[in-house]
Amino acid sequence: MNQKSIELAKDPDLAGSLVAIRRAALRARQLAASTNTELVVLRDGKCVHIKPSGEQKPR
Beta-carbon contacts of residue 46 (< 8 Å; ≥ 6 apart): 58, 59
The predicted model gives 4-30 an average pLDDT of: 87
The predicted model gives 31-50 an average pLDDT of: 93
Residue 26's closest CA among 12, 18, 15? Answer: 18
H or E segment and range at residue 17: helix 17-35
Look at residue 59 and tell me whether its pLDDT is greater than 80.
no
Rounded distance between C-alpha atoms, residue 55 and residue 48, angstroms = 10
Rounded distance between C-alpha atoms, residue 41 and residue 39, angstroms = 6
The predicted model gives 24-36 an average pLDDT of: 92
pLDDT at 1: 59
Does the pTM exceed 0.85? Answer: no
Look at residue 54 and tell me whether its pLDDT is greater than 90.
no
